[in-house]
Amino acid sequence: FAWLRGRCLGRGAAVDPARDTFGAMTGLYGAIQPADSVSLSTRTHGAVFNLEYSPDGSVLTVACEQTEVLLFDPISSKHIKTLSEAHEDCVNNIRFLDNRLFATCSDDTTIALWDLRKLNTKVCTLHGHTSWVKNIEYDTNTRLLVTSGFDGNVIIWDTNRCTEDGCPHKKFFHTRFLMRMRLTPDCSKMLISTSSGYLLILHDLDLNKSLEVGSYPILRARRTTSSSDITSSGSSGPRAVGSPCHQSNSGPLSEKTLSRPSQREGGSPRNSLEVLTPEVPGERDRGNCITSLQLHPKGWATLLRCSSNTDDQEWTCVYEFQEGAPVRPVSPRCSLRLTHCIEEANVGRGYIKELCFSPDGRMISSPHGFGIRLLGFDAHCSELVDCLPREASPLREIRSLYSHNDVVLTTKFSPTHCQIASGCLSGRVSLYQPKF
């Protein structure tokens, strides 16, 4: 039964053709070099905050500091289109819903829907947030758009009933110090990171069930780095973090909400909440801020970029999801276990650096100073499940690539080609691909 379960999870060689072909892919990534750069004038668009490929890899979109969205052909490196007034403030994130429709969000508190076939005007503009909107996710099964912002709200938008005036929406969840929100690939979990060092996990996710503050069941509230009460780290107060550094006006998580007893035991209620303070090397006695949050493409792990409260240290950390009941029923359950980590260059303080997994999940691309580093779980770029250490191990540096003259803020793998894109603070976009 364990063997069958492993196959169902995609962990067996028989159900993962990428295992047979990764030798060739490793050779390609081993020959990767800076290929082309698109030098863009900072007078018009400013820093590059986010990069996103279309699902078929035919379009690369660039979210810029000064209200613009840029579109490029990633194969020819040719500029396609500039959406000069996509928003009225910084464009923070771009998310493709399919190969044609994509969404953008901004510090102007709105979300905009666009169609690649008609870029002269927006499909519609969505209003509902009261502060900077920082993150967009999409559930392909229900066609629900999920957004989060510095107002602490996670809002659900029903794109099935979209009109020129917008989409029906509802407030799904609220927490203070909210930084980033992600859905697992199967949309069974929602992860939320906070600037106060907490990581919130909503298990058995049901996006159709709106939650009110204090009404959701608490799965477990555990501080993995100490046995102190989970509300104690809130005493450090809010941190100014953003792209660039933004300050949240909300207070810490309420003690009343976090002190509710666990309702998970003996059952599996929908939208059960687990609150964690993930272990960060070197930060056992200090608070930390989770600035970037990504998920393994197969849903096996989460990838965090953490910084200390004093911004003098940054780490990239990988945490494996641990399913099942706790080992000892009397002890708090922790769904995440630190497996790999590495210290990062502490440059560009106050700016968030967005990292990412490769499409097969074997490598990580991480901004590192004026370039990027390709990181693996071991020297052979093995699958995470094939090289899980008993204790936290360092990520292995596979390659370092430098082609920028300023701090790199974001990086992204192409979903279909052996190509990586990166964008920096001065507005330059670089592409990396194999050269022989």
Q: What DSSP string describes 377-429?
A: SSTT---GGGS--SS-EEPEEEEEEE--SS-EEEEEE-SSSS-EEEEETTS-E
pTM metric for this prediction = 0.80
Nearest to residue 303, comparing CAs of 143, 178, 184, 429?
Answer: 184
Phi-psi label, residue 197: left if phi above 0, alpha if psi -120 to 50, beta otherwise: left
Query: Would you state the structure tokens that stand for residue 83, as one six-digit string?
Result: 């959406």
The residues with which 155 forms a beta bridge, in sequence order, are 147, 171
pLDDT tens over the chain, length 436 residues: 666 666 555 554 444 554 555 555 566 666 677 765 554 444 568 899 999 999 999 999 999 988 899 999 988 888 889 998 899 999 999 999 999 999 999 999 999 999 999 999 999 999 999 999 999 999 988 899 999 999 999 999 998 888 877 888 999 999 988 999 999 999 999 999 998 888 999 988 999 876 554 444 444 444 333 222 332 333 333 333 334 333 333 333 333 333 333 334 334 578 888 898 887 776 554 557 888 999 999 999 999 998 876 667 789 999 998 865 444 444 455 788 899 999 988 787 778 899 999 998 999 999 999 999 999 999 888 889 888 898 899 999 998 998 898 999 999 999 998 899 999 998 889 999 887 6
Q: Of 191, 54, 72, 4, which Cα lies nearest the Cα of 430?
A: 72
10 Å CB burial of residue 430 (0-12, 13-18, 19+) is buried
Position 284 scores a pLDDT of: 56
The fold adopted by the segment(s) 49-221+271-434 is Methylamine Dehydrogenase; Chain H (2.130.10)
> What angle is formed at CA 423 by the lines to CA 417 and CA 427, rounded to 5 degrees?
135
Residue 412 contacts residue 421 (beta carbons within 8 Å): yes
Is the preceding omega at residue 329 within 30 degrees of 0, hence cis? no
Q: Are 129 and 171 in contact (CB under 8 A)?
A: no
- For residue 4, the surrounding DSSP H or E stretch is helix 2-8
List C-alpha distances in Å: 184 to 139, 181, 294, 365. 10, 10, 9, 19
